[in-house]
Amino acid sequence: MGNSNNVGRRIKEARNSAGLTQRELAHQSNVSVNTLSLLERGQTSPTIATLQKLADSLSVEISYFFAVSKPEDEIVFSKSNRRIPIQISEGLITDLSPGFIPAVGRFFELHVFPRSKSKKEVSHSGFEFLYCLENELICIVSERVYLLEQGDALLYNANLPHHWQNSTDKVTKIIMVQIKTDKEDEPCDLIDQANSSYKS
């Protein structure tokens, strides 16, 4: 559970920086004190939903929990054999640009275990983009069901409640991009731009 330990340390650092006790953060994020304590000690793997709740409550990006160092300049070259996948309850998540916090968004590779699903429906600010590299994933966004097969992509407003599941007996590999938006952006600008350039 070494990787869970690193995530737990980052959660604790962010909580201490915010001046919150475990009980206060648990209340704000709607995560149990016991779960938070186990996470901080690296004794359990978080779900993406839990990480998102904690990130929102601590006013940090979800990628903060994976960051290991700050880049010396504005370019990050990330060798595949140097990236460390983090165990989450649904599978593995790997930050594709570790230590770099761009203004636009964050890039992850997600391996969803067979017969696994997100524990809860989540919603958060910005947009999310999913690209299926291998196998398939069922995504439910605002009660609409999408089957992502190899090569398929999905872009949606992350304010909409969403969750996913891998109903197969194989690992599903996904590229996930969490896209930040300015408060002044129209809620569907990115989606409208994507739809206008789509050719059926």
Cα separation, 3 vs 165, in Å, equals 23
Is 6 part of any domain? yes
Tokens 């990480």 belong to which residue?
A: 51
pTM above 0.85, yes or no: no
Is 27 part of any domain? yes
- What is residue 156's predicted lDDT score, i.e. its pLDDT? 95
Is 76 part of any domain? no
Q: Do residues 44 and 130 share a domain?
A: no
CA angle, residues 173, 94, 108, in degrees to nearest 5: 70
Q: What share of the chain is helix, strand, coil (3-state, %, to 5)?
A: 30, 30, 40
Cα separation, 145 vs 143, in Å, equals 6
DSSP one-letter code for 103? S
Beta strands at 91-95 and 153-157: parallel, antiparallel or unpaired: unpaired
Cα separation, 192 vs 36, in Å, equals 39
Q: Do residues 107 and 47 share a domain?
A: no
Q: Do residues 109 and 56 share a domain?
A: no
Q: Which domain holds residue 58?
A: 2-65
Is 12 part of any domain? yes
> 82-129 pLDDT, tens per residue?
777 888 888 888 888 766 656 677 889 999 999 998 878 888 888 999
> In this structure, are residues 138 and 165 in contact, taking their beta carbons and an 8 Å threshold?
yes
> 41-64 pLDDT, tens per residue?
888 888 888 888 898 898 887 777
